[in-house]
Amino acid sequence: MKVPFSPPDITEQEIEEVAAALRSGWITTGPRTKEFERGIAALCRTKQAVCLGSATACMEMALRLMGIGPGDEVITTAYTYTATCSVICHVGAAPVLVDTLPGSYEMDPSAVERAITEKTKAVICVDLAGIIYSAYDEIFRIAEEKKGLFRPANERQQALGRILVMADAAHALGASRDGKMSGQIADFTCFSFHAVKNLTTAEGGAVTWSEAVENAGIDSGELYRDYMLYSLHGQSKDALEKTRAGAWEYDIVAPLYKCNMTDLQAAIGLAQMKRYDGILRRRKELIERYDAALKGDQTDVLGHYGDTWQSSGHLYLTRLKGRTREECNRIIEKLAEQEVASNVHYKPLPMLTAYRNLGFDIGDYPNAYAQFENEITLPLHTCLTDEQQEFVIEVYKKAAGI
């Protein structure tokens, strides 16, 4: 039985919505993107959201909008996908990678505290697998306590008065913790709608900002306008505005970037949004079944759901206790022989050429390495049938000898 890892869940509703956009005569950023932004803001219970071409663009533009660049340092975790860290490099700042807590995928807050210097401008936390990072409160407390070290370089940094706390919530749309939705907790929260994500627009991303940002006196309207400028060449009017009769004239306020979302992407997103409650429910059902079959003495799994948090249920990470990477790779091959696709989340950044070349050494990240050593991610998506899931469980147990 062939079981793909994470195919897009596309129904006739998405196809109809895209066809309607194609027939409408407007296919780039326009009314559908704006409607999708309102939908994301409603889901995240934030005042506003901006949709761009990817989560990467959302994170990079957040750093740029806050004036973070050369000479600055940004702290993040060694246990993540490259995008969390590459955006730091894109803006010319220096990435500072910290280890995870022992036996955990989560960034160690005390390591963050130790890494803070006068140059630190931001910390990027990761909501891995759809579970909101459990130490935001602690990161905010550390940011407050280290205010004395903070050297603001512009008005926005001055207004915030402390290190910016950003969430890489690429996996976590719809997750909640302590009564707050993902999107309301970190100063800026960035979501991905890449083809493998819970809610897809083929490629795409969204960013929200919290009340704390507004309360610090950073105007939401201005942030939104700047996001529009930064994502569309620094052009003072967007394409739709320019098409209005007699309104051709525009200015370029700075030579900026091009990473807007199109209405075709938003059309897919609007259809997915209508189904999103059901998508989250089905993911929860699948995770509970995997947990019942696999969680135990030999296999560690993530706690996606608890009294105070609900995951978006994006990825099903397992760790086979006491096994080596080589043993796990053989298990992955055995799964592949049965046409079951699996994956590894993640090879820690210091093991990748780009970050080794920046001077990072995996020897300095023993906890992140230990998490990677015996990790296997199983298929989890809303095209997965109950029958397929049973088959995955059977094949995995057999291959792992558990």
Binding site residues, ligand PLP, CB under 6 A:
54-56, 80-81, 83-84, 126, 168, 170, 192, 194, 205
Helix (H, G, I), strand (E, B) or coil at 243: helix
> What is the Cα–Cα distance from 125 to 108, expressed in whole angstroms?
10
- Which residue lies nearer to ligand PLP by CB, 54 or 262? 54
Among residues 330, 335, 365, the alpha carbon closest in space to that of 347 is found at 365
> What is the Cα–Cα distance from 324 to 72, expressed in whole angstroms?
38
Helix (H, G, I), strand (E, B) or coil at 62: helix
Those residues whose C-beta lies under 8 Å from the C-beta of residue 62, and which sit 6 or more positions away, are 164, 166, 188, 190, 207
Pairing between strand 176-177 and 316-320?
unpaired
- Which residue lies nearer to ligand PLP by CB, 206 or 395? 206
Residue whose tokens read 């023993």: 366
Query: Nearest approach, Cβ of 354 to ligand PLP (angstroms)?
Result: 15
Query: Nearest approach, Cβ of 190 to ligand PLP (angstroms)?
Result: 8
User: Exposed, middle or buried, 334 (CB in 10 Å: 0-12/13-18/19+)?
Assistant: middle
Query: Nearest approach, Cβ of 90 to ligand PLP (angstroms)?
Result: 12
CB 230 within 8 A of CB 59: no
> What is the Cα–Cα distance from 324 to 300, expressed in whole angstroms?
14
- Which residue lies nearer to ligand PLP by CB, 80 or 388? 80
- Which residue lies nearer to ligand PLP by CB, 83 or 368? 83
User: Exposed, middle or buried, 333 (CB in 10 Å: 0-12/13-18/19+)?
Assistant: exposed
Query: Nearest approach, Cβ of 127 to ligand PLP (angstroms)?
Result: 8
- Which residue lies nearer to ligand PLP by CB, 81 or 133? 81
- Which residue lies nearer to ligand PLP by CB, 200 or 389? 200
Query: Nearest approach, Cβ of 167 to ligand PLP (angstroms)?
Result: 10
Beta bridge partners of residue 392, listed in sequence order = none
> What is the Cα–Cα distance from 97 to 123, expressed in whole angstroms?
10
> What is the Cα–Cα distance from 250 to 237, expressed in whole angstroms?
6
Query: Nearest approach, Cβ of 10 to ligand PLP (angstroms)?
Result: 18
- Which residue lies nearer to ligand PLP by CB, 76 or 310? 76
332: amino acid identity, one letter? I
Helix (H, G, I), strand (E, B) or coil at 193: coil
Query: Nearest approach, Cβ of 20 to ligand PLP (angstroms)?
Result: 24
> What is the Cα–Cα distance from 141 to 154, expressed in whole angstroms?
23
Query: Nearest approach, Cβ of 345 to ligand PLP (angstroms)?
Result: 8
- Which residue lies nearer to ligand PLP by CB, 30 or 53? 53
Report the first-to-last Cα separation within the chain, whole angstroms.
21
Query: Nearest approach, Cβ of 27 to ligand PLP (angstroms)?
Result: 20
SS3 content of the chain, % helix, strand, coil (to 5): 45, 15, 40
Query: Nearest approach, Cβ of 381 to ligand PLP (angstroms)?
Result: 14
- Which residue lies nearer to ligand PLP by CB, 166 or 400? 166
Query: Nearest approach, Cβ of 71 to ligand PLP (angstroms)?
Result: 25
Q: CA torsion angle for 171, 175, 181, 185 (degrees, to 10)?
A: -50
Which uninterrupted H or E stretch holds 94? strand 94-98
Pairing between strand 164-168 and 188-192?
parallel
